[in-house]
Structure 1
Amino acid sequence: MDKQLLKVNNLQSEVESQPILKGINLEVNKGETHVIMGPNGAGKSTLANVLMGHPDYKITDGEIIFKGENINELEVDKRAKKGIFLSFQYPQEIPGITVENFLRTAKTAVSGEQQSIFDFKFLLEEKMDLLEFDSSYADRYLNKGFSGGEKKKNEILQMAVLEPKLAILDETDSGLDVDATRIVAEGITKLASDDNAMIIITHHNQILDYLKPDFVHILVDGKIVETGDIKLANKIETTGYSEYKGESLSESNSK
């Protein structure tokens, strides 16, 4: 059985005619957790948005293959139905819509099957128990009055309910204290399986104290410049990205 979920070949993208991604190559298999690190402006969030099909990000070259199919032209909702999930870096508040209603509507849209109120309530309670989330979240308006940690925990709950094949978590640890980071990381660990894969985009090593990624990629100036394991993330914590920025600058000057 083919374990490969995602294959990205020479992916190049621009925003408002400004090149951001400059040749990304990446392979993600079922059962794997990949971490992408890099300095501000490197293209990490752009990569997440391009993989999800955000219309503001134009692919200028390369291809995205998901489950054996080129999805370059596929719209966001169709990618979601195929099993791709993107958590928001800055989750929005939606007054008037409860977490439960939002998730039931999302589950219906992604699965293509109408979710009965009672069956979905049971599913939601099951997922909240798994993640050790307070059941009162379900009745609150989506992200309204939520702390930063609660918003990020709610993103993990969405992932649990939608059960994507590929989850892309864009700086899901941003702005979290140690306890919230641990809770989010434990949620990610519980949801990881041999049948799905995770791409975690982060600036910090803090979340990696609780996760065991299979691969760590360093993204600088629109390219993945090195791939390794957790030791690479530890090295970055000590030395920063200066050596990679230097390489990237030399590369551009030599062209």
Structure 2
Amino acid sequence: MSQLLEIKDLTAGVEEKELLHSVSLTVGAGETHVLMGPNGAGKSTLGSVIMGSPEYAVSGGRLFFDGEDITDDSADKRAKRGIFLSFQNPVEIAGVTLSEFLRNALEQVTGKHLKLWDFKKKLRSCMEILGMDASYADRDLNVGFSGGEKKKAEILQLLVLEPKLAILDETDSGLDVDAVKTVSAGIDEYKKRTGGSLIVITHNTKILEALRVDKTHILAAGQIVAEGGAELVDEVITNGFEKYIKGGK
């Protein structure tokens, strides 16, 4: 299996504060990786650094995507290469409808002009998978949306954009059981349609039930302290992170 994402000895942080310390991680094409750890471990930071958020500075190590060094690439260049980040707290954008946002994003990523009819057909198909009423397409992005609706809108972006790598940052956070099932179905459909890779940052095993987990990484104090398969998720759910916080393996 070919490598899609390769992180080598990554050190990054905000201003003078180092948040990630010599993190190394490899994701193969089509693989699903789970990233877990206690609050403040650096999980969201790692997702943002992979996406190229200007909030964080890389002070050591390199990132490679599809065989190319992307360490110095901006977030928009990484998006065009096929990297997607689902935010833990999606922002509200007044004056821009969900449909307008998605059409513009898809045109930016593909570099192609999309006929309105073709785009609307694709959007409608993706919304049906998530059980979203068609009226949401004409609402301002996330404005007045409930927490669950915002998360569905994030998964809608995933289905429309079809990235090579999707980083899902606590997409299941705050969702009820039915909403988790819907979001999980959308993620599963993305995998079926694209064969894309996933990095799932989560505390909830429910969202993983529909997915075949290839590898689990435990992050503590900005370092990967343990790695394993799907069984590591169960071990953490049963015993917690205490031994990892103490530095044990």
* TM-score (normalizing by structure 1): 0.92
Amino acid in structure 1 at the alignment position of 2:205: N
Which residue number in structure 2 is paired with residue 48 of structure 1? 47
Match of 2:198 in 1: 198
Cα distance between partner residues in 1 of 2:138 and 2:163: 24
- Per-residue deviation, 1:145: 1.4
Distance 2:57 2:119 in 1: 37
Match of 1:246 in 2: 246
How do residues 44-193 of structure 1 correspond to structure 2 at under 5 angstroms? 44-193=43-192
Q: Distance in 1 between matches of 2:4 and 2:191?
A: 14
1:158-201 Cα offsets, whole Å, 9 max, x none, are 01111100001111011111111111111101101464101111
- Name the CA distance, whole Å, in 2 between partners of 1:242 and 1:137: 43
Query: Displacement of 1:97 after TM fit?
Result: 1.6
2-structure distance, mates of 1:208, 1:196? 16
Residue 216 of structure 2 is matched in structure 1 by: 216
Q: CA deviation at 1:238?
A: 1.4
Q: Which runs of 5+ in 2 are unaligned?
A: none
**Secondary structure, aligned partner of 2:179:** helix
Alpha-carbon shift at residue 134 of structure 1 (Å): 2.5
* 2:130 and 2:152 in contact (8 A); partners too: no
Q: Deviations along 1:83-106, whole A, 9 cap, x unmatched?
A: 000111101112222111110111
Match of 1:228 in 2: 228
What is the RMSD computed on CA atoms of the aligned residues? Answer: 1.6
Moved more, 224-233 or 44-53: 224-233
Could you say what secondary structure the match of 2:24 adopts? strand
Could you tell which deviates more after superposition, 157-166 or 135-144?
135-144
Query: How far did 1:35 drift?
Result: 0.6
How far is the alpha carbon of 1:137 from its aligned partner? 1.8
Q: Alpha-carbon deviations, 1:222-243, whole Å to 9, x = none?
A: 1111111222111111111110
Q: CA deviation at 1:115?
A: 1.7
The equivalent residue for 2:9 is 10
What residue ranges of structure 1 are gaps of 5+ in the alignment? none
C-alpha displacement at 1:44, in angstroms?
A: 0.3
**CA separation in 2, counterparts of 1:51 and 1:105?**
22
The answer to whether the 8 Å contact 2:32/2:199 transfers is yes
Aligned letter for 1:30? A
SS at match of 1:247: coil
Contact 1:34-1:214 within 8 A present in 2 as well? yes
SS for the counterpart of 1:151 is helix
Kept in 2, the 8 Å contact 1:131–1:190? The answer is no
- What is the alpha-carbon distance in structure 2 between the residues aligned to residue 38 and residue 179 of structure 1? 25
Question: Between the two proteins, what is the percent identity of the paired residues?
Answer: 51
- The within-5 A match list for 1:19-30 is 19-30=18-29
8 Å Cα contact 2:92/2:142 also seen in 1: yes
SS of the equivalent of 2:64 reads: strand
The separation in 2 between residues aligned to 1:95 and 1:14, in whole angstroms, is 31
SS state at 2:10 partner: strand
